Amino acid sequence: MRKTVAHRASIIFDLDGTLIDSAKDIQWVANTALSEIGVAPISYEEAVSFIGEGAPLFVKKMIAARSVETEQQDFLLEQFLKFYEEAVQFSKPYDNVVTVLEMLKANHDLGICTNKPLRPALKILKHLKLDHFFKCVTGGDNPFARKPDPRPLFETSASVGDGLCIYVGDSEVDAETAKRAEVPFLLFSEGYRKTPVEKIPHTFQFSSFKELPEFCLLYTSPSPRDRTRSRMPSSA
């Protein structure tokens, strides 16, 4: 039986809630910043609900949740970003992420497009020994825009390779980014989404990283039959 060989793709990942579970560290950052002005901490659930649109919007939501004067926003953002680079204590990769990245890297070019600021993103990737998997990391403080604007995804994909771009993420923001970029979107259902899976546009959804290589193979297979199957969304 002839072995199927996949075309090389540019597989771009979101970071928080997709490759790593980092909400406890982000909650620590938020509460450490709030403690600087004597404001009550936010809960883990609140932290998760604020994640996904970048540090400035996280801080804006945090301020609204604690009725902090808007005049404090710039100071809190400054403190948030300062502590963010130290936030590595609780973060960890989701199960099977390392094994799957090793498998994918053998045949594809990998990158990260996240709304997390670049320096904290690079710091946590290095701390978790994930940095060597990726040819390019684009943070939310890039000169283009933040997701769901598709430009950071375009730039990341162009930097890692010229193969088919596939985006892997966990949230509504990631789904909208892929939609605007007109690229396949693989939805990790166990991250920080706020909406039921069936209401988030996606090409495929997976709850375990063990499933990801098969979906990538379907979308990069040279077989016409496999390519047809790969275009069938897993939900309406």
Mean pLDDT of 109-117: 97
Q: Which residues does the annotation mark as catalytic?
A: 14
Render pLDDT for 31-62 as a digit per residue (tens, 0 to 9): 999 999 999 999 999 999 999 999 999 999 99
Domains of the chain: 9-21+91-230 (3.40.50.1000), 23-84 (1.10.150.240)
Contact 101, 209 (CB under 8 A): no
For residues 89 and 78, what is the distance between their CA atoms, to the nearest angstrom? Answer: 21
Residue 63 scores a pLDDT above 90: yes
112: β partners: 13, 137
Give me the pLDDT at residue 222, please: 64
Q: How, if at all, do strands 92-93 and 20-21 pair? A: antiparallel
Comparing 43 with 232, the larger pLDDT belongs to: 43
Contact 110, 128 (CB under 8 A): no
Give me the pLDDT at residue 4, please: 46
Q: Which residue has the tokens 């973060």?
A: 91
Lowest mean per-residue pLDDT among 144-148, 160-164, 179-183, 229-233: 229-233
Residue 220 scores a pLDDT above 80: no
pTM > 0.85: yes or no: yes
Residue 229, helix vs strand vs coil? helix
DSSP result, 165-186? EEEEESSHHHHHHHHHHT--EE
Cβ-based neighbours of 234, under 8 Å, separated by 6 or more: 202, 203, 204, 205
Residue 111, helix vs strand vs coil? strand
For residues 186 and 203, what is the distance between their CA atoms, to the nearest angstrom? Answer: 6
